[in-house]
Structure 1
Amino acid sequence: MTGPAAVPTVRQVVDALDGRYPRSWAESWDRVGLVLGEPDHAVSRILCVVDCVPETVDQALAIGADLIVAHHPLLLKPVSSLAPDTFKGRIVHRLIRAEVALYTAHTNADVANPGVSDALAARLGLTGLRPLVPAEGAAAGEGRGVGRIGDLPEPLTLAALTALAADRLPATAAGVRAAGDPERVIRTVAVCGGAGDSFLADATRAGVDAYLCADLRHHPVSEHLADDGPAVLDAAHWATERPWLDEVASWLRSQSPVEVVVSDLDTDPWTVHVASASKETHP
């Protein structure tokens, strides 16, 4: 009779994650992999989060997590101090005291197949997925790259697609907004988890009908539409990346006998959204 599988260590979980999201796939400016934690500590419970912030650290400690798997790096930019009177220092000290390890998969998870944008595309029911921008270098090949392009199950107007996205994506105060003719018929859609205005031109070249991402800005969108680019949908950054947590959590559960919890704490910084009741005309 075979006994129960052994509980993995931090090192073993990290090795598995590094195998699925090799660090060499990350952008040169990115900081991914194990951030802190004792490699030989046992891992029986993992918390998957988009952001490692005080609220998700509270959650990790409350559920007794041994490891946090985060999408956004905690220490992306160099720091000269991790003193406990700083925002990031307090997080690091709390995690070390509680013996909770922290691992990050960021741009290496963005380009992976399946990766962040695959999970986003799945929320919209897109089929026939291919990269918006195929990966180059170490990550090249096997359908990897930034963003995804896919086909809707049936054509929708831009207004209807926006409503669908608002219904299928995690709810946030920001919601989902769109730019373009509300009656435009949409058949093919490009998506990109997280900030995506640097790929507006790629969406145009791909010939898609609409492009959904986060953090779109006034002037790039205005100029994009003026150049006959596809319609655009702008969702909250957290909402476009939260779907990936479900996918990576399911994969982690399949690798070893660990409990994996997905955080639904909305860590988007925008907390209030009030639509104007009427339009005013100013002289």
Structure 2
Amino acid sequence: MDPAAVPTVRQVVDALDARYPRSWAESWDRVGLVLGEFEHAVSRILCVVDCVPETADEALAVGADLIVAHHPLLLKPVSSLAPDTFKGRIAHRLIRAEVALYTAHTNADVANPGVSDALAARLGLTGLRPLAPAEGAAAGEGRGAGRIGELAGPLTLRDLAAFVAARLPATSAGVRAAGDPGRVIRTVAVCGGAGDSFLPDAARAGVDAYLCADLRHHPAGEHLANDGPALLDAAHWATERPWLDEVAAWLRAQFPVEVVVSDLDTDPWTVHSASAPQSASAQKEIHS
């Protein structure tokens, strides 16, 4: 392709498919081009974590011809895309505006570089290797879910939580940690997005701490009770937002296009209120 020529949707999709082959995605996943005309020209791309009404509005506001999203709009089967449904409204809005939509999800998670590499880079981790090496079509060349690496210097769990909060995009949820606050952390496993399914992998790897999103009460508690690594839990959106910068830079290097990265926080939690510890007498008064 002429370096000065504006690419088509098909050309950008082909390049993304080559970098994140659809065969690398989990069998339940839905990746690739969701909607859009293959022969439409692409001069501006918007990269987002979630394709939701707010980011669809942003795409129209910045004049994007293509949205590259991490999370699939149509992950679960639907029987209708009627304009009075949540997903239908988004699809109709984008189609009317001639904005194409492409998704790279679990195929971008296992890629090298992929979603967790970008997260690890935010923390300055070095010596990266997969937390759960890929199998099947994606196996090899350092691919797999999550990453394990070394911090630039040791930190206590308390200080690491503050460091992570400072390095990731700010959200109402913030960053919470589980384990001894004074525990010294040198090796860290990270996973962009929901990561409690990789708790056993983090334990087997012998890392000092594991950072991901969407940790649940019982799996986290049982993991710690079994002397597993300390845990850090951040907002789902915040752990995947760093990937947008990486894929945006790659797209700019491939095509003569403008690439905009969305900073709209699409995490559903919008308020965080920390309760102050109460004395036993105060608690007795409340419950009396």
TM range (shorter): over 0.9
Deviation at 1:40, TM superposition (A): 0.0
Residue 197 of structure 2 aligns with which residue? 198
**Whole-Å separation in 2 of the counterparts to 1:279 and 1:271:** 25
Q: Does 1:233 align with 2:232?
A: yes
Which deviates further from its counterpart, 270-279 or 76-85? 270-279
Report the count of equivalent residues: 281
Residue type of the alignment partner of 2:95: I
Q: Which residue of 1 aligns with 2:81?
A: 82
How big is each residue's C-alpha offset from its partner over 1:208-260, in whole Å with a ceiling of 9 and x where there is no partner?
A: 00000000011111100000000000000000000000000000000010000
Q: Does 1:134 align with 2:138?
A: no
Query: Contact (CA 8 Å) 2:3, 2:255: kept in 1 or not?
Result: no
Give the aligned partner of residue 18 of structure 1. Answer: 17
Q: Which amino acid aligns with 2:107?
A: N
Q: TM-score normalized by structure 2? A: 0.96
Match of 1:177, SS?
A: strand
Aligned counterpart, 2:173: 174
Structure 1 runs, 4 residues or longer, greater than 6 Å off: none
Q: CA separation in 1, counterparts of 2:114 and 2:33?
A: 19
For residues 271 and 191 of structure 2, the distance between their equivalents in structure 1, rounded to whole angstroms, comes to: 24
Q: Give the whole-Å Cα distance in 2 for the aligned partners of 1:60 and 1:95.
A: 9
Structure 2 Cα separation of the partners of residues 6 and 76 of structure 1:
34
Q: What is the Cα deviation at residue 4 of structure 1?
A: 6.2
Letter aligned with residue 265 of structure 1: L
Q: Distance in 2 between matches of 1:277 and 1:226?
A: 26
The amino acid across from 1:177 in the alignment is R
Distance 1:234 1:224 in 2: 14
Does 1:143 pair with 2:132? no
Letter in 1 for 2:90: I
Gaps of 5+ in 2: none
Secondary structure at the residue paired with 2:60? Answer: helix
Q: Distance in 2 between matches of 1:4 and 1:255?
A: 9
> Could you say what the CA RMSD is over the residues aligned between the two structures, in angstroms?
0.9
Deviation at 1:121, TM superposition (A): 0.3
CA deviation map 1:83-136 (0-9, x unaligned): 000000000000000000000000000000000000000011000000000000
Cα distance in 1 for residues equivalent to 2:230 and 2:278: 23
The residue aligned with 2:35 is 36
User: Match for 1:147: what amino acid?
Assistant: G
Query: Normalising to structure 1: TM-score of the pair?
Result: 0.98
What amino acid maps onto 1:262 in structure 2?
Answer: V
Q: Distance in 1 between matches of 2:154 and 2:278?
A: 31
1:1-283 map, 5 Å:
5-279=4-278, 281=280, 282=283
Q: CA deviation at 1:278?
A: 2.7
**1:185-223 CA deviation, whole Å, 9 max, x = no partner?**
000000000000010010000000000000001111110
1:20 Cα deviation (Å)?
A: 0.2
Q: State the SS of the aligned residue for 1:18.
A: helix
**Identity value in percent:** 87
Partners of 2:63 and 2:148 in 1: CA distance: 39
Separation (CA, whole Å) in 1 of partners of 2:273 and 2:5: 51
Q: How far apart, CA to CA, are the structure 1 residues paired with 2:132 and 2:10?
A: 32
For 2:199 and 2:69, how far apart are their aligned partners in 1? 27
Q: Quick one: which amino acid aligns to residue 185 of structure 2?
A: I
Q: What SS is found at the alignment partner of 1:30? A: coil
User: How big is the shift at 1:279?
Assistant: 2.8
The change in CA–CA distance for 1:212 and 1:252 in structure 2 (over 3 A counts) is same
- Asked whether the equivalents of residues 43 and 65 of structure 2 are also in contact (C-alpha less than 8 Å), the reply is yes
Shift of 1:175: 0.2
Structure 1 unaligned segments of length 5 or more: list them: none
Q: 2-side partners of 1:172 and 1:157: how far apart? A: 22
